[in-house]
Amino acid sequence: MASSSAFAAQQMVPNNSYTTRLGPVLLRVIPRFEVEFNSNVYYSPDDPIADLILRPGLAFDFDWVITEKNRLTLNLGMEYEKYLRAVDRDNNGFRLKPDTLLSYSLYTGDFVITLYDRPSIEQEPSADPSLVNTAPYTRLANTLGLSVVCDLNKLILSAVVERQDIRSLNNNFSGLNATTYVGQLSAMYLLTPTLTLGPFGMVSQTAHPENALNNSTMMQLGITADQALTRYTTLTISGGLQIMKFQDNGTPGLSFQTTSTGTIDNVTGTAGGGNFFGPFFSVEITNELNRFFSHSLSVGLQPQASSVSNYSQVFSVDYALTWRMNRQVDANLALNLQHGQVSGTAPSYDLAEIRTGLTGQLTPSIGWKMELGYRLEMQTEGMGTVAQTRCILGLDYAF
């Protein structure tokens, strides 16, 4: 779904990963330290610059079951990034990880009502494949929402309303600032012991305060089915029709501002491309081979708003494999392939990314990880080919 998805109601069972109990409050504090080698920190097709990044961080988890019908949780992930060579990336080096979440849940009868907030502070040009060779783009993204879930045994109804804000924190890329309001309804019915089926609908409205990009309205109507094929295999299918209507209020044409080194410093217009009406879908199959191996494969087509045009259609294939090597070590592999068809005159792209890694425990309190990733993106219309290798080593300690 194009919104940040229906917020799943949390169970009243405490998470056994918490390490400290203060009366009814469960706590977990995990300081972390990572070192990353990045072969292309500016995600540039020309003259890539490699760097070492030092990343101290802290994870703080808080779970308070106030009463049998009230629960307050906080999952906070913070880190600071220090670039040893690309010192301009130290601007606003503080990061708030995307999994940060504050939520309050109220249980009454068949209803679970949850108020939540998801803030994050990010700097990662490669997160948006339509932005290549960019200067540092640090942004605050925040989602404030309300979820209502009604559990009627075989029928589960849910409603979600959200406000999503994106703001540039270092005065460049302010043309990408946006405010989006989202409303979503869904219903899931247990047709058989192994098949759940139901419709969903979503509408959103996005406004760009600086009118660099066109304001838009989006609507989705679809259906989701979840089928347990066997005891160890599950198939999930979702699809429907989507409409995106764009106002003609943005800056005509597409233009970029660049720095003296040639990196893009701002997106100052939209390439247009008109409105969109068409299908979207996703198909995912998960399988547990045995108690050591599990994997999943998903294929999807998702139209979405673009940073350099009105919209893009992204066709993606994802594969993930987890190997439980022993009680202390897990190995994982992830592969992602994308083809993005961008509206108007903005360049389309093809992307391939592979990541592999190991995670484990030195002691019950000390954890470690090793991760190696390679990403290759090919832009059309002379934008070039971007390659990036990342190697990450990390340690954490759970109090």
Within-domain flag for 6: no
Number of H helices, E strands in the chain: 0, 23
Within-domain flag for 66: yes
Condensed to tens digits (0 to 9), the pLDDT of residues 190-218 reads: 999 999 999 999 999 999 998 888 999 99
pLDDT at 305: 85
Within-domain flag for 77: yes
pLDDT at 16: 56
Residue 188 confidence class, pLDDT cut points 50, 70, 90: very high
Within-domain flag for 4: no
Condensed to tens digits (0 to 9), the pLDDT of residues 72-115 reads: 999 999 999 999 987 777 666 889 998 899 999 999 989 999 99
pLDDT at 317: 98
- Average of per-residue pLDDT across 375-396: 87
- Of 234, 222, 149, 231, the closest CA to residue 196 belongs to 234
Range of the domain at 339: 20-397
Bridge partners (DSSP) of residue 337 are: 317, 352
- Of 119, 74, 79, the closest CA to residue 95 belongs to 79
Within-domain flag for 385: yes
Q: Flag whether pLDDT at 14 surpasses 60.
A: no
Please state whether 381 falls in left (phi above 0), alpha (psi between -120 and 50) or beta.
left
Work out the percent of the chain whose per-residue pLDDT is above 90. Answer: 60
pLDDT at 180: 96
Record the tokens describing residue 267, joined without a space.
């997106």
Condensed to tens digits (0 to 9), the pLDDT of residues 105-122 reads: 999 989 999 999 999 998
pLDDT at 5: 40
CB-based contacts of 84, cutoff 8 Å, min separation 6: 51, 52, 53, 54
Residue in this structure with the two tokens 């993204």, named with its chain if needed: 141
Within-domain flag for 108: yes
CB atoms under 10 Å from CB of 241, counted, come to: 12
Q: What is the CATH number of the domain that holds 292?
A: 2.40.160
Condensed to tens digits (0 to 9), the pLDDT of residues 42-79 reads: 888 888 889 999 999 999 999 998 888 899 999 999 99
Produce one character per residue of 335-371: b if its CB has 16 or more CB atoms within 10 Å, e if not: ebebbbebbbebbbbbbebebebebbeeeeeebebeb
pLDDT at 284: 97
Within-domain flag for 290: yes
Into how many domains does the chain fold?
A: 1
CB-based contacts of 43, cutoff 8 Å, min separation 6: 125, 126, 131, 132, 133, 134, 386, 388
* Half-sphere exposure at residue 370, Cβ-oriented, CA atoms within 13 angstroms: 6
Record the tokens describing residue 364, joined without a space.
């019950």
Within-domain flag for 320: yes
pLDDT at 69: 87
Residue 144 confidence class, pLDDT cut points 50, 70, 90: very high
Condensed to tens digits (0 to 9), the pLDDT of residues 244-263 reads: 999 988 777 665 666 655 66
Q: Flag whether pLDDT at 10 surpasses 50.
A: no
